Copies of this chain bind each other. A is one copy, B any other.
Amino acid sequence: MNFTISNRMSGVEGSAIREILKLASDPNIISFGGGNPAADAFPIREIAEIANRALAEQPVSMLQYSLSEGYPPLREALGAFLRKNDGIGRESDRILIVSGSQQAADLATKALVNEGDAVLVEEPSFVGCLNCFRTYGAKLAGVPMDEDGVNLAALEEAMAREKNVRFFYTIPNFQNPTGITMSYEKRKRVYELAQKYGVVILEDNPYGELRFAGEPVPAIKTLDTDGRVIYCGSFSKVMAPAFRVAFLCADEGLMGPLVVGKQCADVHTNVLFQHICAEYLTKYDYAAHIAEIRELYAKKCRLMLAALEREFHPSVRFTRPQGGLFISCTLPDGADAAEFVAEGIRRGVACVPGFAFMTDQKKPSSFFRMNFSTPTDEQIEKGVRILGRLTHERFGS
């Protein structure tokens, strides 16, 4: 049987990262390719404790159908947490629990984007969301990044140029793949531009809690006077990814279609893991746990940055993230990162070449992404040494 695949899915390839990780599945390969949080950071004992207790004491409420909007105790706990911790939550904002922040992007796109409508994205950006927008037939318009976040002139130009711009997708903190954090000044200007052009902002903040340097910058959502910001957060990096529990905070005017979308997508998110998040937020020392993760990540990031400094040819530039999971390296003179990464894999070290994060994956790109949260200290030292040698071979004078 020859299947006729829908137009929206015909153009979309699976994540290029996934293909690269397959190449790198050889256990002898050091992988800087993934985006996994460090397993050392999972609060395993507490998760098991809460799960065991809940399944013993209130099994039926953990196992029976629940609300599409989310498990009420988690929605309440999150509401209080976001107000207190992040200054997020207008009177008319509501929280929707979703199955990973990937689903927040999926539901927002389903609710707002017609086929052919434009979605503005930082370029480069998270491939999972770019693909999600593609599966709704969105026209992606990439906006280049500066060292302090999206380029404002290019953003305004895109907002003015593109027809039916339905939202601007941004990861303001420790962006994936660049590691860049958007300055507060830029956040204010981005919000003003969104107001001027009547654009919604989809603010994705999966890494926000993983700040290990510099000063916290308030979310764009804290500036949201008229309800145009859909703010997304996740438990994947602060609890564990396989929870598949995340949330969005958006104006009540959007909740109707978002909740119907959620009903039609998967009815509701796994209840036990919503309960674990609620219990952990309200009855455990969440702040101490976050402090621990930050220290772990700070150490790993410092180690990788020091190795890059020492081993890489100075013509290769790299970002110095204040948090998150990723460092981005740019090769000199527009050299093709895909070729560089392929040779790295042959020598036993995997990274992700930049094309994977671009709106047009066919164009060559001169940067690659390195993850510092998953590899061991030894792997970081050894892997950067191998890649460093390659940079000297290629770019040494």
Residues of chain A touching chain B, judged by Cβ–Cβ distance below 8 Å, are 1-10, 12-15, 18, 34-36, 39, 42, 44, 47-48, 51-52, 55-56, 59-60, 62-66, 98-100, 102-103, 106, 110-115, 117, 128, 131-132, 135, 166, 200, 226-228, 240-244, 251, 253-254, 256-257, 259-261, 263-273
Q: Is the Cβ of B36 less than 8 Å from the Cβ of A242?
A: no
A55 to B55, CA, bound (A): 13
Q: Are A257 and B9 in contact (CB under 8 A)?
A: yes
Of all chain B residues, which has the CB nearest A242? B271
List of B residues within 8 angstroms of A10 by Cβ: 257
9 additional contacts (CB under 8 A) given A6-B110, A9-B257, A47-B59 = A2-B253, A3-B251, A6-B117, A48-B59, A63-B241, A64-B240, A102-B267, A128-B263, A128-B264
Nearest Cβ in chain B — how far from A250, in angstroms? 9
Cβ 8 A contact of A5, one of B44, B112, B240: B112
Cα A253 to Cα B3 in complex, Å, equals: 7
A298 CB to closest chain B CB (Å) equals 21
- A275's closest neighbor in chain B, by CB? B242
In the docked arrangement, what's the CA distance between A267 and B14, Å? Answer: 11
8 cross-chain pairs, A with B, having the tightest CB-CB distances, nearest first:
A63-B240, A48-B55, A242-B271, A132-B264, A99-B266, A9-B257, A44-B59, A65-B241
Q: Given the complex of chains A and B, what is the CA–CA distance between A128 and B227 in angstroms?
A: 29
Task: Kindly state the separation between the CA atoms of A283 and B380 in the bound complex, as whole angstroms.
Answer: 41
Contact (Cβ within 8 A) B112 A263: no
Given A44-B63, A260-B13: A265 in contact with B265 (beta carbons within 8 A):
yes
- 9 residue pairs A–B, Cβ–Cβ below 8 Å: A4-B112, A35-B65, A42-B59, A47-B63, A51-B52, A64-B242, A65-B242, A100-B266, A241-B267
* B110-A263 in contact (CB<8A): no
| Beta-carbon contact of A266 and B106 below 8 Å | yes
CB-based contact B47/A60 at 8 Å: no
Are B114 and A7 in touch, CB under 8 angstroms? yes
Q: Whole-angstrom distance between the alpha carbons of A313 and B251 in the complex? A: 49
* Across-interface contacts of A34 in B (CB, < 8 A): 65
Question: What residues on B are CB-neighbors of A132 within 8 Å?
Answer: 264-265
Partner of A52, one of B48, B62, B115: B48
A169 → chain B closest CB, angstroms: 13
Out of B9, B98, B228, which one reaches A260, CB within 8 Å? B9
Closest to A60 in B: B39
